[in-house]
Structure 1
Amino acid sequence: MTKIGKKVNIRANQSLERYLQEIGEVDLLNTEEEIRLAKIINYKPDEDPENVDGKKPTYSLREQQTALEKLTQANLRFVVSVAKQYQNQGLSLGDLINEGNLGLIKAAQRFDETRGFNFISYAVWGIRQSIL
């Protein structure tokens, strides 16, 4: 490996280490918090016939985006654990994590909290599908 290749490898490893450290500092969510965030993410005011009088809470796009970010950030560690299972199959761990994160975001957008599943039980399929 050339000097430049080694430097790139070192920087990639440092970036990955920093990323892992940062996601390790994010608090995990309990089931009630996951459900609350999913309700905010999936809320569509024009599809809610019970809210004609405006008494039920409504959420702005900013609140929905914040809820999506919080739900995904709290589950990034799980993406890393799934990505590690697919190491040494052609992609770097960083690339596997990136693909898994995309699957996590899609899962968070599609999660139906009314079905009774924990979010991560649902999300694992989207994460694996994105990685593969």
Structure 2
Amino acid sequence: VATRATPVVDSVEVYWQQIKNTEPLSRAQEFDLFARAKAGDEDARQQIIECNLRFVVSVAREYRDYGLSLSELISEGNVGLMEGVKRFDETRGFKFITYAVWWIRQAILKALAEQGRIARPPMSQINDLQKLEKEAGILSQRLGRSPTASELSEQVDISPTRTRNAMEVGQPDVSFDAPAYPGEEATLHGIFAGPQDEHDEVYDEDEMKRAIRSCLLVLDEREVQIVRSYFGLGDNDPMTL
């Protein structure tokens, strides 16, 4: 019997209607649910998964032109999501999906590679990306932020150039102003906005900086420094170019 975490191949629209109104979890809710899940509460684990299924759909849609159907991509992405749930450390203090995206992408790319649906780029880049994304998931928990390309390159022991090339493979172009799903008015940005609370400004700033740090993975050192200075990351104050 298909569960909400595994869409039937020809029923993606029905699946989307089932999950599209699921409210995202706050950090406090995530912390509580992960603690319960680790203690063996299967209902808590399932709630975490269900509240993040929409994000899997958005990631899966980025890979529609690589050969697998959207339903197959979603199913593979859900496998990665569940792996992320198993490995996530909620005590690190950052949102689960920041960590889980690495496992979602890795699961999708692995499926594409295994089924021979990726003609370009070379398999060597796919293999590099899988190593980098696995290590990125580990480092993100250790550091409490997304690792830089230099940190990943050193940890995995591949050159900075190979690191950037591989990361570009895993980052298809996607606009967060685009519709979240065919026929929907809501955008990806609107769907994945967190719940409102008294800490909204700090929360939004933190999430923006995490997104920027993820983008830094495909830049060279000079470009990284420019972006860090412009957005005031690290010890830098925001400045104009």
TM-score normalised by the shorter chain: which range applies? 0.7 to 0.9
Q: Which residue of the partner structure matches residue 54 of structure 1?
A: none
Q: Aligned residues: percent identity?
A: 49
Whole-angstrom distance in 1 between the partners of 2:89 and 2:37: 10
Distance in 2, Cα, partners of 1:99 & 1:87? 13
Structure 1 gaps of 5+ residues are: 1-10, 44-60
**Bigger helix fraction:** 1
Give the letter aligned to residue 32 of structure 1: A
The 4+ residue runs of structure 1 with deviation greater than 2 A are: none
Distance in 1, matches of 2:93 and 2:16, equals: 30
Asked whether the 8 Å contact 2:27–2:94 carries over to 1, the reply is: no
Partner SS state of residue 88, structure 1: helix
Kindly state the Cα deviation for residue 27 of structure 1 after the two structures are TM-superposed.
2.1
Residue correspondence of structure 1 range 1-132 to structure 2 within 5 A: 12=10, 15-43=11-39, 61=40, 64-132=41-109
Q: Which amino acid aligns with 2:12?
A: L
Deviation per CA, 1:84-119, whole angstroms, max 9, x where unpaired? 011110100000000000110111111101112210
Q: TM-score, normalised by structure 2?
A: 0.41
Q: How many matched pairs?
A: 101
Gaps of 5+ in 2: 1-8, 110-241
Where 1:29 maps in the other structure, the secondary structure is coil
1 or 2 for the larger relative contact order (CA 8 Å, sep ≥6)?
1
| RMSD of aligned Cα (Å) | 1.2
* CA distance in 2 between partners of 1:88 and 1:126 (Å): 20
Task: Tell me, in whole angstroms, the C-alpha distance in 1 between the residues paired with 2:59 and 2:99.
Answer: 14
Q: State the distance in 1 between where 2:42 and 2:29 align.
A: 15
Write the letter of the residue equivalent to 1:129: Q
Q: CA deviation at 1:25?
A: 2.6
